[in-house]
């Protein structure tokens, strides 16, 4: 089942009882390669500029908590259901059982306590790429975006290692995910018209070379 189909089912039909197929090592590169050409075109359209100051940044400028989307389910819980297999949740929508695959490092995670929902383009990085000039409402929408590939279930350890770094400073340890990571990053930045730095653009182009022809 494709990622878009899973997302549509989760958001439109089965948010409270989702049983989704996880992203696997085999499936991710195939999906990414299909959009690599588009990603290159989108990257060429992005403004190149120096990063803005981090001054004034606070995570709460984006959202003090995850936004609710349906009933008692917030964005994080929706993503965990979308990306997991055999996910079971309590009456408050919190996952109590499931298995997740972390595409960054290839780890299979069998406890919700081992997983994080990562912002592919970190909030602090988005701030320095132009989001500091946005309205509070737009920043909140960005932080809870379930339509673009901005939210991804990954291992806690990979998320900590990544922090607020861009692709020029951090790449997924599993090289097989570089193509998908770069295309996701570019898709998000292009949609929100966030600019890139010279080093960031160079790093993204290098990762896109892993997509193949």
d(CA 77, CA 79): 5
**Rg of the chain (C-alpha set):** 17
What is the rounded CA–CA span in Å between residue 136 and residue 127?
12
- CA dist 52 and 143 (Å) reads 19
| Per-residue pLDDT at 69 | 80
Contact assessment for residue 154 and residue 116, using Cβ atoms and an 8 Å cutoff:
yes
Q: Are strands 84-89 and 107-109 parallel, antiparallel or unpaired?
A: unpaired
The Cα–Cα gap between 75 and 97 comes to: 18
Tell me the Ramachandran region of residue 70: left when phi exceeds 0, alpha when psi lies from -120 to 50, beta otherwise.
Answer: beta
The H-or-E segment that residue 156 falls in is: helix 156-162
The whole-number pLDDT of residue 72 equals 82
Residue 43's Cβ-count burial label (10 Å; 0-12, 13-18, 19+) is buried
Q: Domain residues of the chain, as ranges?
A: 3-211
3-state SS assignment for residue 32: helix
What pLDDT shows up at residue 35? 82
What pLDDT is recorded for position 213?
55
Determine the straight-line distance between the first and last CA of the chain, rounded to whole angstroms.
24
- List, for the chain, all residue ranges whose pLDDT scores fall below the cut of 50: 1-34
Longest dimension (CA), the chain: 48
The first and second tokens of residue 56, run together, are 């004034």
Give Cβ neighbours of residue 143 (< 8 Å, ≥ 6 apart): 62, 63, 67, 75, 119, 123
């Amino acid at each position: 089942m494709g990622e878009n189909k899973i997302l549509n089912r989760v958001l439109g039909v089965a948010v409270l009882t989702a049983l989704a197929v996880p992203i696997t090592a085999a499936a991710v590169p195939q999906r990414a390669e299909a959009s690599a050409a588009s990603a290159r075109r989108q990257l060429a359209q992005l403004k190149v500029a120096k990063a803005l100051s981090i001054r004034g940044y606070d995570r709460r400028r984006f959202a003090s908590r995850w936004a609710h989307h349906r009933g008692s389910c917030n964005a994080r819980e929706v993503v965990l259901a979308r990306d997991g297999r055999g996910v079971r949740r309590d009456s408050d929508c919190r996952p109590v059982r499931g298995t997740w695959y972390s595409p960054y490092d290839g780890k299979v995670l069998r406890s919700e306590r081992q997983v994080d929902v990562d912002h592919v383009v970190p909030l602090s990085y988005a701030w320095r790429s132009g989001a500091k000039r946005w309205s509070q409402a737009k920043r909140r929408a960005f932080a809870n975006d379930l339509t673009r590939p901005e939210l991804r279930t990954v291992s806690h350890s990979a998320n900590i290692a990544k922090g607020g770094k861009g692709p020029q400073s951090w790449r997924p340890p599993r090289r097989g995910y570089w193509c998908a990571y770069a295309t996701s990053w570019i898709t998000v930045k292009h949609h929100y018209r966030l600019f890139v730095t010279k080093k960031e653009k160079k790093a993204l182009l290098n990762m896109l070379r892993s997509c193949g022809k």
